[in-house]
Amino acid sequence: MDYVIRNRKKGIINIPKEGIKPLTISCSGELTMLREERFELLSPSSVAFHKPDFNIHVVAVMGFSTPVDVDLLKAKFPTTLCKHPRFSSVVEGDPCKGEELRWTRTEVDINKHIIVPKINHPAIKSPQNFVENYIHNLSKTTLDKSRPLWEVHVLNLNISDEVKGLTIFRIHHSLGDGTSLVSLLMALTRKTSDPNSLPTIPGPKIRDDSKNNRKWLLFRWIFALWMILKLVWNTSMDILMFIATTLFLKDNSPFKGSPNGSSAPRRVVYKSFSLDDMKLVKNAVGATINDVALGITQAGLSRYLSRNCVNEGNSHEDARKKTNKFLNNIRLRSVLLVNIRPSGGLQDLADMMEKDAEVKWGNALGYMLLPFNLGLHDDPLDYVRSAKKTVDKKKHSLEAIYTFFMAEIVMKFFGSKVASGISDRINANTTIAFSNLAGPMEEIGFYGLPMTFLAPSSYGQPHPVMINFLSYSNKMTIVLAVDEHAVPDPHQLCDDIVDSLKLIKDVVIAKALVKEPAQHL
């Protein structure tokens, strides 16, 4: 530490002296302690999440096969989660007064962050409906900015034979992107088969080029050149579409949100189904799990919207043609927020909380526009093939990196109001927020509590429909967060998406494209 001598006429003089805390010498000669400030400015992406019309809160529902031990959480959080800088900091500063928003470290009162509501168990006819209504009411409120922007709600209810209790994490989106926050929660878990080991998260496959030799060198160079040209073309087209969307190109989606926009409460529903069924379809088409997730979503949306459209044809075929025309004329797109900053793995996050190690963290978000191709297909597999084609184009595009750096440039030269205006235009002209995350490959425990499912979502976003997928062990969970003005029956939409997977899987088996796993026989 230094001696800090503060003189109104001569400024500040630092005199090194190890072990001495900063002191202030006033003009009267009195000595007072200086409070050591620890703060960090919010990134532009994090600042955006504090706008009144973009005040996004992440909600993660965790189900357990046993009741949740509240005392256990109160004992564990201070030595793990609360050691994360973002989870032990408050947001200070007022942009209206020209002040920059900053993270300032503070003491965490754990009793204010763990909420256990009183539940009248005999009066609850449907525990699942109780949870849905609880989250719906929660989405009408925001976190208290006088303390760190996170909290955990504990509901010990017999939801089903497998779920005896659950927690609802509510975290402000400015603390991190969705992937990083889910990864952080996973870093607090351990395998049930090995309580000392972190869960295994599937990663991208690394291609082995060791068998390549000089004979194929020319073809590799030609392929590389082709991929570069493809990258330039896809990026150019995506940038033009992004600019058009900013200026004038709107979705003509039937999903119209309420006049309250982003402040409208959200109805969150979720459903788990077999991950093996998705793998079966994936192998049949030569796709990825992400392709299948997008494919069944396109199929489910088509079923849901075609059920609600009016047909006045003289025959079934005529009605089908009119429905298909209606669906094909819909422009429906999702905004994907992509964190272009590499984040640490689970071990890095665990070390950060347990050993105060450093790890990369924060929002460095770029935008991607993902179109949904709706219609009625004779072959249900065409939904997945169409999704694969769309995703492959996005994989060979620099759209997210371009939009991130353009946002930085606009922020620097034109200010936050212009950058915010562009963001608002993109969100206003699109309809859906969509994501697919890879979760643990094996069963895990949260501080020893055996977890049965994890359902992440959010509210406060301007999009009336949000669709999330998350895998866990041998299950996939789909989570919908909707403005009920746009989707009055979210359970039906959720069922349509899950039923679409079953229909596609049945076609795969009927055509003998792959053999069905033994557990499905």
Q: Give the amino acid at 203.
A: G
Contacts of 493 (CB under 8 A, 6+ apart): 300, 301, 304, 480, 482, 487
Q: How far apart are CA 360 and CA 344, in angstroms?
A: 6
Q: What's residue 362's pLDDT?
A: 57
Q: What's residue 191's pLDDT?
A: 93
pLDDT in tens, 267-321: 999 999 999 999 999 999 999 999 999 999 999 999 999 986 655 555 677 888 8
% the chain with pLDDT above 70: 82
- φ, ψ of residue 477 to 5 degrees: the values are -115, 130
Check pLDDT > 60 for residue 24. no
User: In CATH, what class is 217-443+465-520?
Assistant: alpha beta
pTM score above 0.75: yes
Beta-carbon count within 10 A of 110 CB: 15
Domain ranges of the chain: 2-36, 41-191, 217-443+465-520
Q: In the sheet that 57-64 helps form, which strands lie side by side, from edge to edge?
A: 114-115, 150-155, 165-172, 57-64, 449-459, 444-446, 189-191
Q: How far apart are CA 270 and CA 469, in angstroms?
A: 10
Q: What's residue 17's pLDDT?
A: 37
Q: What's residue 124's pLDDT?
A: 92
Confidence of residue 250 (pLDDT cuts 50, 70, 90): very high
Is 485 part of the annotated catalytic residue set? Answer: no
Q: Is 276 exposed, middle or buried (0-12, 13-18, 19+ CB in 10 A)?
A: middle
Residues in the chain: 521
Q: Which helix (H) or strand (E) holds 354?
A: helix 346-355
Q: What is the mean pLDDT of the segment spanning 131-146? A: 96
165 pairs with which residues across the strands? 64
- Do 41-191 and 217-443+465-520 share a fold? yes
Q: What's residue 311's pLDDT?
A: 52
Confidence of residue 347 (pLDDT cuts 50, 70, 90): low
Q: What's residue 15's pLDDT?
A: 33
| Structure tokens, 399 | 């759209």
Beta-carbon count within 10 A of 386 CB: 21
Q: What is the mean pLDDT of the segment spanning 417-440? A: 89
Q: What's residue 349's pLDDT?
A: 61
Residue with tokens 């200010």: 415
Please provide the DSSP assignment of 269-319 as one string.
Answer: EEEEEEHHHHHHHHHHHT--HHHHHHHHHHHHHHHHHHHHS----SSHHHH
For 337-341, the CB contacts below 8 A with 24+ separation are 337/177, 337/178, 337/365, 337/366, 337/367, 337/433, 338/365, 338/366, 338/367, 338/368, 338/400, 339/177, 339/179, 339/180, 339/363, 339/364, 339/365, 340/364, 340/365, 340/366, 340/400, 340/401, 340/404
CATH topology for the 41-191 domain: Chloramphenicol Acetyltransferase (3.30.559)
Sign of CA dihedral 260, 50, 337, 479: negative
Q: What's residue 183's pLDDT?
A: 85
Q: What's residue 474's pLDDT?
A: 92
Confidence of residue 23 (pLDDT cuts 50, 70, 90): very low
Q: How far apart are CA 505 and CA 511, in angstroms?
A: 10
Q: In the sheet that 267-274 helps form, which strands lie side by side, from edge to edge?
A: 267-274, 475-482, 465-472, 432-437, 332-339, 365-372
Sign of CA dihedral 142, 145, 147, 149: positive
Residue whose C-alpha is closest to residue 15's, from 31, 3, 26, 24: 3
Q: What's residue 54's pLDDT?
A: 87
Beta-carbon count within 10 A of 396 CB: 14
Confidence of residue 32 (pLDDT cuts 50, 70, 90): very low
Candidate list 173, 316, 485, 491, residue with the active-site label: 173
Confidence of residue 225 (pLDDT cuts 50, 70, 90): confident
pLDDT in tens, 451-502: 999 999 999 999 999 999 999 999 999 999 999 999 999 999 999 999 999 9
Q: What's residue 5's pLDDT?
A: 32
Contacts of 337 (CB under 8 A, 6+ apart): 177, 178, 365, 366, 367, 433
Confidence of residue 389 (pLDDT cuts 50, 70, 90): very high
Q: What is the mean pLDDT of the segment spanning 376-383? A: 94
Q: What's residue 213's pLDDT?
A: 54
Q: How far apart are CA 313 and CA 321, in angstroms?
A: 9
Contacts of 114 (CB under 8 A, 6+ apart): 70, 73, 74, 77, 151, 152, 154
Confidence of residue 25 (pLDDT cuts 50, 70, 90): very low
Contacts of 343 (CB under 8 A, 6+ apart): 179, 180, 183, 359, 360, 361
Confidence of residue 206 (pLDDT cuts 50, 70, 90): low
Of residues 357 and 503, the one with the higher pLDDT is: 503
Q: How far apart are CA 331 and CA 327, in angstroms?
A: 9
Q: What is the mean pLDDT of the segment spanning 219-239? A: 86
Please provide the DSSP assignment of 208-253 as one string.
Answer: --TT--GGGHHHHHHHHHHHHHHHHHHHHHHHHHHHHHHHT-----
Confidence of residue 208 (pLDDT cuts 50, 70, 90): low
Check pLDDT > 90 for residue 44. no
